Amino acid sequence: MTDPSPSETFRSVASRFSTVVDGVRSADAWDAPSPVAGWTARDVVGHLVEWFPAFLAAGTGIELSPGPSVVDDPAGAWRVLCEEVQDLLDEPGSVDVMLINEHIGEVPLPQAIDRFFTGDVFMHTWDLARATGQDDTLDPGRCEETYLGMLPMDEMLRSSGQFGPRVDVPEDSDFQTKLIGFIGRDPAWQPDRSA
């Protein structure tokens, strides 16, 4: 069995994130706190919608069409970005486009999206689901693969400032719990719904 292509992987991961986005039932829910300190549910989407287009433009010169403002329409902003990224990955010529970045060197565009953006969408699915009271179950196989892949890079990832301090979890925890703790989230975090 061959590994899924970056296009197939993004389609699957983004579809799950889209389901969570569509599950946010009220405007107020977008302002709910998230497991990322200082972020709301809206900020989770805002992070994805803001960093990746800038990263892509700087590394390839490709400019994505802006969607609606995350402030006004976080679901719409995500949908536009999701469609544009999927279109890029589905374009046969994308394999010939190199993304150039001072920290990672030259990487073919599909692999760059897979390594950096798809993984980020996957992990932030938990944040958005937990913030908005939805099912936060992630694909167990991908949790294992992501956790084991990141483990040897612990010190480098931590020093990048992109991850908070690791949260210790029991050794016999499942891979989702280990991954969530590794990226600096408390797997037991729940929003305060008493307000």
The pair of structure tokens assigned to 23 is: 């599950």
How high is the pLDDT of residue 192?
75
Instruction: Name the 3-class secondary structure at 150.
Output: helix
Using one digit for the tens of pLDDT, what is the confidence trace for 129-151?
999 999 999 999 999 999 999 88
How high is the pLDDT of residue 156?
76
How high is the pLDDT of residue 101?
87
How high is the pLDDT of residue 13?
98
* Phi, psi (deg, nearest 5) at residue 105: 80, -145
CATH number of 6-137: 1.20.120.450
How high is the pLDDT of residue 20?
98
Assess whether pLDDT exceeds 60 at residue 1: no
How high is the pLDDT of residue 30?
97
- Top pLDDT among 152 and 61 is at 61
Q: Name the residue ranges covered by the structural domains of the chain.
A: 6-137, 138-189
Cα–Cα distance for residue pair 173/180, rounded to 1 Å: 11
